[in-house]
Amino acid sequence: MDPGSSGVHGNETVEKHAKDATKSRGNSQHVPTTAHKPLKSSRLNTIKEAIDKEWDTAWKAIKNDAKQLCRITSKRHTQKGVKLYKAINTRHNVAQLARLCSGHCSLNQYLFRFHHADSPYCECDNQTIETVQHYLLRCPRYEMQRARLVTKVGIGGMWIEKLLGYPELVEV
C-alpha cells in the first residue's frame, strides 16, 4: 500500500477490490503483481472527503458551547466564514458578529461562567437569562434599537439565524 494513503478510511478496501478486478479480467498474461498508485489528485480528494466527513460528524456532536453557532450555520441560506464576513466593512464589526454568533460576548450568560458577572440573568428582569437571542429579540431595554432594526430588515428578518447568518441582513 502507498504510504501516503495508509490510514485513510476505505483505502485498503478500494485497493483490494482493484487487485481483484485486474486478476479477474480473464487475461492471465497481463495480471500486474501490484496495483497502480492512485493519482495524487484522487488521493487528495479522498483525504479531503474523509476530513470533511469527520469534521461534520464532530460538529454535529457538539453539545454545549458552540450549540448556538451550529444552529445558526445549519439553517438554509446562512453563510459562514469569509462569505459572511465580506459583507461587513470594519474589523470591529466582524469581531462583534463572531462574538454574537459564538455566544462569547459581553452578555451576563457568558460573563457569569467566568465569574465576571454576579448572575447570568438580564438586568431587565431576574427571571430571564441574558442570552444573545434575548438581547437581540426580546430585551425591553433595547426596544428602540430593535424597532429601527425591524424597519431595515422587516419582521421576517427578525430571526437569530437570519440576523447573524444572512449577509444581506448583516450588512444593514
10-residue mean pLDDT profile of the chain (172 residues): values are 58 70 55 69 89 79 65 71 80 89 90 94 91 93 95 91 84 60
DSSP string for 106-138? SSHHHHHHTTSSS-SB-TT-TTSB--HHHHHHT
Evaluate whether 157 touches 163 at the Cβ level (below 8 Å): yes
Q: Answer whether residue 119 is part of any domain.
A: yes
Domain span holding position 124:
67-170
Q: Answer whether residue 74 is part of any domain.
A: yes
Q: For residues 113 and 145, state if they share a domain.
A: yes
Per-residue pLDDT, 2:
53
State the Cα–Cα distance between residues 84 and 159, nearest whole angstrom. Answer: 16
Per-residue pLDDT, 7:
61
- What size, in residues, is the chain? 172
Question: Could you tell me which residues come within 8 angstroms of residue 91 by beta carbon, excluding any fewer than 6 positions away?
Answer: none
Q: Answer whether residue 2 is part of any domain.
A: no
Q: For residues 46 and 99, state if they share a domain.
A: no
Copy the grid coordinates of residue 154.
422587516
Q: Answer whether residue 96 is part of any domain.
A: yes
Q: For residues 127 and 143, state if they share a domain.
A: yes
Q: For residues 113 and 160, state if they share a domain.
A: yes
Q: For residues 153 and 104, state if they share a domain.
A: yes
Q: Answer whether residue 49 is part of any domain.
A: yes
Grid-cell match 500500500, residue found: 1
Per-residue pLDDT, 114:
93
